[in-house]
């Protein structure tokens, strides 16, 4: 960048600026998206002329209230943020994520990642971006574009956007950017930044492209008076927010995750409509779902990616259960994520203080009030010290590697599913099938990881791998929903899309030289089978091997023959139990924890691998800890609703973790504090 001196754009030359923004080289190449009045609000829409900017308009905002008033002046940027966030352009409400072409025998998926922020697919100008909104874009850069997987559509749209920011001079009562440290002054991330003063605009460039554009306009330098009025206007906005507005104590807000059982969650749930408006207007909320569908008579079935919200009932739903069925849990999740666990995930706040969620909540719920009510009596210093819910390595390591300084596009593009062929299908129980799948080229999957098993037009559930052997891998699927039912119906020769292996697997190496304890409940034995395979294959590298498994009834036991064989081995202790016996069952009846035999284990050096329903894992964890096994030597794997598998859709959160990328395997020190919290 060669020059950053402030220039002056006279009010009557605003049209020249809009013209230059649209046609930087003299030809029309860019769509200019700017604030404009529509339906009683200032929204973002493409403009052709500066005359379409909101002239002489003021906004009045309060909890649940947004109104426009007209004034006599000529100001065009004298208002705070409206209902539209720039994410509409970078992360569109709906876009095609996958296309599937060809019939079942030859079809393949393709990633459709070329969404554009503009109608014509070319470069675009965002005119009127405020400091809080720039901060929000940076937050979404971290979420979408800094890895480990990248939303290519977002990164591509981001690269096409020229940002003409505007300094905030007229904040609303709902603004609290000063609390969150994001505004009101634009300091970085812009190509141009304008400050509106009485007779025009003081303009500075923030990038080479901005400098070139300013040069093309041939603007005079801004004189001392104008520069100081511009500075005073922004300072005035900051003072106004600080003096008049309700703020948020950011360090207190970071402690929200300490209060999962606070009464306020029940109280706010009586007011909250679960309408999702706060999340939809939030400039950082990034959750999405993939709609796999097909249209009658059309051979192609892809997937549409659509804005989703953690306030919907289905957000935490998996076939057979719902991790956040109660509204109190959903509200708690949203606000805790935004202000608290976001830090652990992305080393940033998920809130930028724009106040949209306050103004656009139909019943006027004010996050600032909710935070105060929950953290009342708390102190703001050292937010993470001694925190029982402190995220451990998983989240913190990522915060170090994926910080605000990373460049968008650093991650691996989220891949489309690769088609793979089923080579055998074996019914384990009346509702559970093990599919053997020829490993498609390039697919790398490790014990404990999962794959997204995509069926065109039906769905893409995450399924743990239950065996990895040479050119094949296995998945064991219980038919509990429409997608799993369709997977169970696959026959040898059928094809399905596979992406993965995803997530953190079992650290099988850590068990070397140790007693190995494997505890599985029901279908939870499936992800543990690769551990057993590994340990038995390297039997001499391990000390004692103890395998405890439980099922509802003898008929519900998966891998029954293999487990029976295991019981016969002299070098393995294998025990099975059932909740309810059948006529032929001679073994133990009762919960799996009854089988555990701590006296047999070398407690301090044992390593345990556990998977099953969360209540079973919780009970098992207590027993293992009682036996003296260190919590960081107990490994658990867990389940959540997933749409993408790569950390972009937001569904699989469990406290500060994304189960898809921080897990699904966790050590008990990480996961333990969360296992007992209902609806986390």
Partner 1 sequence: MSDSPPRVGVVKFASCDGCQLTLLDLEDHLLEIAKSFDIVEFAEASSRRSPGPYDILFVEGSISTQEQANEILELRTQTAVLVTIGACATAGGVQALRNWADHDEFRSAVYARPEYVDSLATSTPIADHVTVDAELRGCPIDGGQLLELLSAVVAGRRPQIREEAVCLSCKRRGTVCIMAASGAACLGPVTSGGCGAICPAMGRGCYGCFGPVLDANTESLTAWLRASGRSDGEIGRLFAGFTAYAEPFRSVVTRSRAIASEEDPRARE
| Shortest distance in whole angstroms from residue 479 CB to partner 1 | 13
CA pair distance 70, 643, nearest whole angstrom: 45
Is 545 in contact with 533 (CB distance < 8 Å)? no
Alpha helices in 595-638 (DSSP H): 614-626
Let me know the angle formed at the C-alpha of 38 by 33 and 44, rounded to the nearest 5 degrees.
Answer: 20
Question: Which of residues 64 and 588 has its CB atom nearest to partner 1 in the complex?
Answer: 64
Question: Which of residues 27 and 296 has its CB atom nearest to partner 1 in the complex?
Answer: 296
| Shortest distance in whole angstroms from residue 492 CB to partner 1 | 19
Is 603 in contact with 627 (CB distance < 8 Å)? yes
Question: Which of residues 297 and 405 has its CB atom nearest to partner 1 in the complex?
Answer: 297
Is 19 in contact with 47 (CB distance < 8 Å)? no
CA pair distance 145, 161, nearest whole angstrom: 15
Question: Which of residues 43 and 246 has its CB atom nearest to partner 1 in the complex?
Answer: 43
| Shortest distance in whole angstroms from residue 330 CB to partner 1 | 10
**Residue among 419, 383, 474 at smallest CA distance from 656:** 383
Question: Which of residues 67 and 379 has its CB atom nearest to partner 1 in the complex?
Answer: 67
CA pair distance 304, 383, nearest whole angstrom: 40
| Shortest distance in whole angstroms from residue 307 CB to partner 1 | 6
| Token pair in block for residue 445 | 């999957």
**Number of Cβ atoms within 10 Å of the Cβ of 160:** 18
The separation between the first and the last C-alpha atoms of the chain, rounded to the nearest angstrom, is 48
Question: Which of residues 38 and 533 has its CB atom nearest to partner 1 in the complex?
Answer: 38
| Shortest distance in whole angstroms from residue 177 CB to partner 1 | 20
| Shortest distance in whole angstroms from residue 457 CB to partner 1 | 6
Sign of the alpha-carbon torsion through 568, 573, 574, 576: positive
Question: Which of residues 221 and 363 has its CB atom nearest to partner 1 in the complex?
Answer: 363
| Shortest distance in whole angstroms from residue 277 CB to partner 1 | 5
CA pair distance 192, 217, nearest whole angstrom: 13
Output helix, strand, coil percentages for the chain, rounded to the nearest 5.
30, 25, 40
| Shortest distance in whole angstroms from residue 648 CB to partner 1 | 18
**Number of Cβ atoms within 10 Å of the Cβ of 1:** 10
Is 566 in contact with 535 (CB distance < 8 Å)? no
Strands 41-47 and 31-38: antiparallel
Residues in a beta bridge with 307:
288
Question: Which of residues 59 and 667 has its CB atom nearest to partner 1 in the complex?
Answer: 59
**Number of Cβ atoms within 10 Å of the Cβ of 359:** 30
Q: Distances in Å between the alpha carbon of 73 and those of 15, 51, 69, 251, 605?
A: 18, 14, 12, 40, 76
Residue for token pair 């909101």: 54
CA pair distance 134, 196, nearest whole angstrom: 18
Question: Which of residues 16 and 38 has its CB atom nearest to partner 1 in the complex?
Answer: 38
Question: Which of residues 38 and 579 has its CB atom nearest to partner 1 in the complex?
Answer: 38
| Shortest distance in whole angstroms from residue 539 CB to partner 1 | 44
| Shortest distance in whole angstroms from residue 294 CB to partner 1 | 5
Is 634 in contact with 608 (CB distance < 8 Å)? yes
CA pair distance 497, 262, nearest whole angstrom: 43
| Shortest distance in whole angstroms from residue 92 CB to partner 1 | 9
Residues that bind partner 1 (CB under 8 A): 38-41, 43, 64-67, 83-84, 88, 93-94, 270-277, 280-281, 291-297, 306-307, 309, 312-314, 327, 359-364, 457-459, 481-482, 486
CA pair distance 357, 364, nearest whole angstrom: 9
CA dihedral 279, 282, 285, 289 (to 10 degrees): 50
CA pair distance 133, 351, nearest whole angstrom: 11
Question: Which of residues 319 and 404 has its CB atom nearest to partner 1 in the complex?
Answer: 319
DSSP 481-516: SHHHHHHHT--TT-EEEEEEEESB---GGGGTTS-E
Q: E strands within 428-506?
A: 432-438, 450-454, 462-469, 472-478, 495-502
**Residue among 108, 87, 84, 209 at smallest CA distance from 153:** 87
Question: Which of residues 190 and 305 has its CB atom nearest to partner 1 in the complex?
Answer: 305
Question: Which of residues 44 and 467 has its CB atom nearest to partner 1 in the complex?
Answer: 44
Question: Which of residues 526 and 642 has its CB atom nearest to partner 1 in the complex?
Answer: 642
Residue for token pair 């807000």: 253
Burial level of 588, CB count in 10 A (0-12/13-18/19+)?
middle
| Shortest distance in whole angstroms from residue 159 CB to partner 1 | 23
| Shortest distance in whole angstroms from residue 132 CB to partner 1 | 19
| Shortest distance in whole angstroms from residue 296 CB to partner 1 | 4
Question: Which of residues 80 and 634 has its CB atom nearest to partner 1 in the complex?
Answer: 80
| Shortest distance in whole angstroms from residue 428 CB to partner 1 | 23
């Amino acid at each position: 960048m060669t020059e950053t001196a402030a220039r002056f754009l006279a009010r009557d030359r605003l049209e020249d600026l809009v013209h230059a923004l649209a046609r930087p080289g003299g030809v029309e190449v860019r769509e200019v998206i700017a604030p404009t009045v529509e339906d009683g609000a200032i929204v973002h829409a493409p403009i052709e002329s500066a005359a379409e900017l909101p002239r002489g308009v003021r906004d009045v905002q309060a909890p649940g209230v947004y109104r426009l008033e007209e004034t006599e002046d000529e100001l065009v940027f004298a208002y705070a943020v409206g209902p539209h966030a720039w994410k509409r352009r970078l992360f569109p409400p709906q876009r095609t994520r996958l296309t599937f072409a060809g019939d079942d025998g030859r079809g393949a998926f393709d990633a459709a990642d070329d969404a554009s922020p503009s109608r014509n697919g070319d470069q675009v100008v965002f005119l009127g971006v405020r400091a809080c909104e720039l901060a929000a874009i940076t937050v979404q850069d971290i979420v979408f574009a800094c890895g480990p997987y990248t939303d290519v559509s977002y990164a591509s749209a981001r690269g096409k956007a020229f940002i003409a920011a505007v300094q905030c001079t007229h904040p609303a009562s709902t603004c609290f950017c000063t609390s969150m440290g994001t505004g009101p002054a634009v300091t970085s991330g812009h190509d141009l930044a304008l400050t509106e003063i009485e007779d025009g605009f003081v303009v500075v460039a923030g990038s080479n492209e901005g400098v070139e554009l300013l040069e093309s306009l041939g603007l005079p330098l801004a004189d001392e008076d104008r520069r100081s009025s511009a500075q005073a206007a922004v300072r005035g906005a900051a003072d106004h927010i600080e003096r008049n507005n309700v703020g948020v104590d950011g360090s207190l807000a970071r402690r929200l995750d300490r209060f999962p059982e606070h009464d306020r969650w029940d109280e706010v749930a009586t007011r909250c409509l679960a309408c999702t408006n706060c999340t939809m207007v939030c400039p950082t909320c990034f959750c999405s779902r993939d709609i796999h569908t097909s249209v009658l008579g059309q051979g192609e079935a892809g997937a549409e990616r659509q804005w989703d919200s953690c306030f919907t009932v289905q957000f935490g739903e998996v076939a057979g259960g719902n991790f956040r069925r109660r509204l109190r849990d959903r509200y708690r999740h949203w606000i805790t994520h935004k202000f608290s666990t976001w830090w652990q995930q992305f080393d940033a706040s998920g809130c930028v203080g724009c106040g949209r969620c306050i103004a656009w909540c139909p019943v006027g719920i004010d996050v600032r009030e909710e935070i105060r009510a929950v953290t009342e009596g708390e102190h703001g210093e050292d937010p993470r010290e001694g925190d029982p819910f402190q995220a451990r390595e998983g989240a913190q390591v990522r915060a170090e590697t994926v910080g605000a300084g990373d460049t968008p596009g650093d991650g691996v593009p989220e891949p489309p599913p690769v088609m793979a062929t089923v080579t055998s299908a074996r019914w384990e129980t009346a509702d559970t099938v093990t599919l053997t799948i020829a490993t498609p080229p390039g697919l790398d999957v490790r014990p404990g990881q999962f794959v997204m098993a995509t069926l065109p037009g039906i769905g893409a559930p995450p399924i743990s791998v239950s065996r990895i052997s040479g050119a094949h891998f296995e998945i064991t699927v219980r038919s509990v929903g429409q997608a799993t039912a369709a997977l169970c119906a696959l026959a040898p020769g059928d094809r399905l899309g596979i992406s993965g292996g995803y997530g953190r697997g079992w650290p099988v190496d850590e068990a070397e030289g140790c007693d190995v304890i494997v505890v599985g409940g029901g279908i939870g034995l499936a992800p543990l089978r690769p551990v057993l395979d590994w340990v038995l294959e390297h039997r001499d590298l391990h000390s004692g091997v103890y395998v405890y498994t439980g099922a509802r009834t003898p008929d519900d036991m998966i891998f029954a023959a293999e487990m029976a064989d295991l019981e016969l081995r002299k070098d393995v202790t294998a025990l099975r139990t059932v909740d309810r016996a059948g006529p032929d069952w001679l073994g133990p009846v009762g919960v799996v924890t009854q089988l555990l035999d701590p006296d047999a284990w070398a407690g301090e050096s044992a390593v345990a691998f556990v998977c099953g329903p969360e209540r079973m894992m919780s009970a098992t964890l207590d027993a293992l800890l009682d036996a003296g096994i260190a919590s960081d030597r107990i490994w658990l794997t867990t389940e959540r609703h997933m749409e993408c598998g790569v950390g972009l859709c937001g569904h699989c959160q469990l406290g500060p973790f994304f189960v898809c990328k921080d897990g699904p395997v966790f050590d008990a020190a990480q996961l333990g504090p969360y296992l007992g919290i209902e609806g986390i």
